[in-house]
Amino acid sequence: MDFAYISEIALYAAFILYLIATFFFGATIRDKHTSKVDGGRSKPAIIGIWITQIGFAAQVVYFVTRWIASGHAPLSNMFEFVTFFGMSMVLAFIILYYIYRLPVLGLFALPIAMIVIAYASMFPTDLAPLVASLQSHWLYIHVSTVSIGNAILAISFVTGLIYLIRQIDQTKRSKQTTWLEIVIFTLFVTVGFIVSTTGFNLADYNATFNYPENDQIVTTHYHLPAIAGPNEGELVTEDAMKPWFEAPGWMLGSDAGRKFNTVIWSIIFGSVIYGIVRIILRKRVGAAIQPLLKKVNPDLLDEVTYRSVAIGFPVFTLGGLIFAAIWAQIAWNRFWGWDPKEVWALITFFFYAVFLHLRLSRGWHGEKSAWLAVGGFAIIMFNIVVVNLVLAGLHSYA
């Protein structure tokens, strides 16, 4: 039995099911017969949550069959880690849905989880044996706990974003509307990364560069046209687009120029998609969404934001600091080493500790709490994307 093939099909099926479920949760917003209280028990909501659970079951099949095919838990590279993060987000949503019966949570949480899964699929999906440094049961314990903690914290971002869209006055331009639109724009940039990478991969674009690194010549392959080439790099492929400029020399890490180039293309495609949406809507995206959220209870959103942090923070602390320190002691004979990943894990810990302190002792509820939840998710994504891929360190994914 080809478990690798079953794994791919199961992940694709989960993605499609999440997409279908999103439409059903969207239907609850326009259901005039649905009240703020019984929204979670309306027929579209019931269908949506059942489809979501079937999709989650399909993703569990992906996880198990990939584990069988590879011989180890699928948490060892960027594709596997981010996919598990997306799966954990869906699990966190399902649990919180049954607690609070809030259908609008699915309308926002599932698309963000799908963006995360689609983002993961842009990285190499090949099965590979574990390198020596990862051959430990602490890989499963540490990485899975961190991912689940981050996923629960991510739900606070979802409810915080919904709260801000609903509550901020969209009739006039202000600092709040500007920052809110910037947050929404970053989601479009992520979609731009997926679209640009998929499009040029389908076109089979490839350009080879040679560049100096650590006193030797290294070869790198660009799968997007080179707007930013490697620092001091030389284009080898004939008829390929010549870079407009070189990546700054201070950008460290393997293939820093190629990664910087990917960021540029993501911003370009994301801006184009965002611009098209703005032209169609003829207003800010947040202002267009706001009328659809009139029935949503803001106090309930605020409660879910707090509960998500209250649950996710200790889980993240357990996996990102305690379990991480134990594994570091076993692997590197030290509990702490100021590696970039360790530093940002500590920053994440302090940020959410401050969140809870301000919430409980200073009364930071409502909009202030929502903005903190959005900021915390930005730190999480910086840790997952930039620290893993750009900053050189012991935790960097290849």
Q: Is the per-residue pLDDT at 35 higher than 50?
A: no
- 208 DSSP β-pair partners: 221
Q: What percent of the chain has pLDDT over 90?
A: 40
CA-nearest of 342, 341, 352, 343 to 385 is: 341
Position 134 confidence tier, pLDDT thresholds 50, 70, 90: low
Give 197's contacts (C-beta < 8 A, 6+ positions apart). Answer: 122, 223, 224, 262, 265
pLDDT in tens, 220-246: 888 899 998 888 888 888 888 888 988
What separation in angstroms does the CA of 6 have from each of 3, 11, 64, 158? Answer: 5, 9, 10, 31
Give 347's contacts (C-beta < 8 A, 6+ positions apart). Answer: 379
The arithmetic mean of pLDDT across residues 3-22, rounded, is 91
CA-nearest of 310, 341, 306 to 327 is: 341
Two tokens at 216? 């030797």
CA-nearest of 250, 274, 275, 270 to 260 is: 250
Q: Residue for token digits 């901020």?
A: 168
Is the alpha carbon torsion for 168, 173, 174, 179 positive or negative? positive
Q: Are the C-beta atoms of 28 and 100 separated by less than 8 Å?
A: no
Of residues 309 and 33, which shows the higher confidence score? Answer: 309
CA–CA separation, 89 and 241 (whole Å):
39
Model pLDDT, residue 392: 52
Model pLDDT, residue 34: 46
Model pLDDT, residue 314: 94
pLDDT in tens, 47-89: 999 999 999 999 999 999 999 988 888 888 888 888 999 999 9
What separation in angstroms does the CA of 137 have from each of 39, 99, 143, 164, 326? Answer: 43, 33, 10, 41, 12
Model pLDDT, residue 123: 76
Q: Mark out the alpha helices in 298-397 (DSSP H runs).
A: 298-317, 324-332, 340-361, 366-382, 388-389
Q: Are the C-beta atoms of 301 and 163 separated by less than 8 Å?
A: yes
- Looking at residue 247, the DSSP 8-state letter turns out to be P
Model pLDDT, residue 58: 95
Q: Is the per-residue pLDDT at 360 higher than 80?
A: yes
Q: Are the C-beta atoms of 305 and 161 separated by less than 8 Å?
A: no
**Dihedrals phi, psi of 203, to nearest 5 degrees:** -80, -5
CA-nearest of 23, 61, 66 to 45 is: 23
Per-residue DSSP letters for 116-175? HHHHHTTS-----PPPGGG-SHHHHHHHHHHHHHHHHHHHHHHHHHHHHHHHS--SS--H
CA–CA separation, 61 and 3 (whole Å):
10
∠ CA 116-118-120, nearest 5°, is 70
Neighbour order of strands in the sheet with 234-235: 216-222, 207-213, 234-235
Q: Are the C-beta atoms of 362 and 46 separated by less than 8 Å?
A: no
Q: Where are the domains of the chain?
A: 1-130, 131-169+293-398, 171-283
CA-nearest of 269, 115, 292 to 187 is: 115
Strand spans (E) along 185-342: 207-213, 216-222, 228-229, 234-235, 245-246
Model pLDDT, residue 39: 55
